[in-house]
């Protein structure tokens, strides 16, 4: 479903006092990447400072990315959060604006157990959008073992894993 180079893009901000999103900078970055021959693009991942973006900023960055991508490459929106309810909200919003899939980090800080991780990822996969699990123990404090990923992959909406362990 998703293959090739999918850069996780930065979220540029203006240098003003309010640190507003720099949407022209975002558009310019996306245009450059598209000309470079990428196969897809990932807005609002950890490289894009997702943990510090407001809901409105998440929405706007994903919308602008979709507009600029213009259907040329898939958009895999970062929708992970430390809590499942917020991740669901981000994932629904990404789906509603037309994201091709979502990249979801495991909840960090509270580090759910195996059962909690299964419930978390299943709740997101049940939203009927392709979900790529992001295993990044350096950020979450826990590694997802292969047997857990195999169990999660039984869900038809689990589309892959971004492995960073």
pLDDT in tens, 74-101: 999 999 999 999 999 999 999 999 999 9
**DSSP letters for 41-108:** BB-SSGGGTGGG--HHHHHHHHHHHHHHHTTSS-BEEE---SSHHHHHHHHHHHHHTT-SEEEEEPP-
Write down the pLDDT at residue 87. Answer: 97
Positions annotated as catalytic residues are 134, 162
pLDDT at 125: 98
pTM, two decimals, is: 0.94
Question: 91-114 burial by CB neighbour count: b if 16+ within 10 A, else e?
Answer: bebbbebebbbbbbbbbbeeebee
Q: Tell me, what's the pLDDT at 108?
A: 87
CATH code for the part of the protein at 23-163: 3.20.20.70
Rounded-to-5 percentages of helix, strand, coil across the chain: 40, 15, 40
Positions of the chain with pLDDT under 50: none
- Domain coordinates in residue numbering, the chain: 23-163
């Amino acid at each position: 479903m998703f293959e090739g180079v999918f850069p996780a893009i930065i979220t540029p901000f203006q240098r003003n006092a309010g640190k507003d999103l720099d949407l022209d900078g975002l558009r310019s970055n996306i245009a450059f990447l598209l000309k470079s021959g990428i196969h897809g693009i990932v807005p609002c991942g950890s490289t894009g400072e997702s943990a510090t973006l407001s809901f409105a900023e998440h929405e706007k960055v994903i919308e602008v990315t979709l507009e600029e991508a213009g259907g040329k490459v898939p958009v895999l929106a970062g929708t992970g959060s430390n809590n499942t309810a917020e991740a669901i909200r981000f994932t629904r919003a990404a789906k509603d604006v037309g994201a091709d899939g979502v990249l979801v980090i495991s909840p960090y800080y509270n580090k759910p157990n195996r059962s909690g991780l299964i419930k978390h990822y299943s709740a997101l996969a049940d939203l009927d959008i392709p979900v790529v699990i992001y295993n990044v123990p350096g950020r979450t404090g826990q590694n997802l073992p292969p047997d857990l990923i195999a169990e999660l992959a039984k869900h038809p909406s689990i589309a892959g894993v971004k492995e960073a362990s």
